[in-house]
Amino acid sequence: MTIPSTPWGRPVAQAGSAVIATATGLLLLRVVVGLTMAAHGSQKLFGWFGGEGFQGTAKSFAGLGYEPGTLFAVLGGSAEFFGGLLLALGLLTPLGAAAVLGMMLNAIVAVHLKAGFFAATGGFEYPLLIAAAAATLGFTGPGRFALDAGRPWGRPSLVTGVGVLGVALAASVLALLVKAL
């Protein structure tokens, strides 16, 4: 009696276990990163979790040179809040990944880069980790345990991943150019 195997030579039972393990890992990554970003966005938009709220965020953005501050507060807070929720749910995952990645790229360049690498000195360590997680989800898709499961944009894809990187980079560069005006 032969044991059925996958094209890669692994027994079918092991392949099924690997699929579930991957899906569970992607679920964990999505929920932790997504809810973390949604919480950060809620601080900016609503003042939840000890955040400065919309008016304070608008002043902070204006102080960083993002004028009008209210527009950038809406854009930045929404990218974090809604992008994070989309990632956590695994819904429109490429859009959520691009929103979070674009925001983190902008935060790295505009705020954290000058402080070096480590978060303890205000460096870019934390936003880089969030950016890497968002980019990864752009390439891998959300996994089986997601609202996007089975949809074309919810599958692992080099094209989708590159598209997420391109949209995020374009949005970040555009924001930095507007800031420079």
Helix axes 93-107, 158-180, angle to 10 degrees: 40
Asked if residues 47 and 56 have their Cβ atoms less than 8 Å apart, the reply is: yes
- 11: confidence class by pLDDT, cuts 50, 70, 90: low
Q: What is the pLDDT of residue 18?
A: 85
Listed residue (135, 73, 74) closest to 104, CA to CA = 135
Listed residue (144, 149, 168, 110) closest to 25, CA to CA = 144
Q: Which two tokens stand for residue 108?
A: 């790295």
Is the confidence at residue 68, as pLDDT, over 70? yes
Q: DSSP letter at 147?
A: T
Q: Which two tokens stand for residue 41?
A: 């966005």
Q: What is the pLDDT of residue 173?
A: 96
Is the confidence at residue 7, as pLDDT, over 80? no
Q: What is the pLDDT of residue 8?
A: 54
- 23: confidence class by pLDDT, cuts 50, 70, 90: very high
Q: What is the pLDDT of residue 16?
A: 77
Q: Which two tokens stand for residue 181?
A: 């005006």
Beta bridge partners of 11: 5
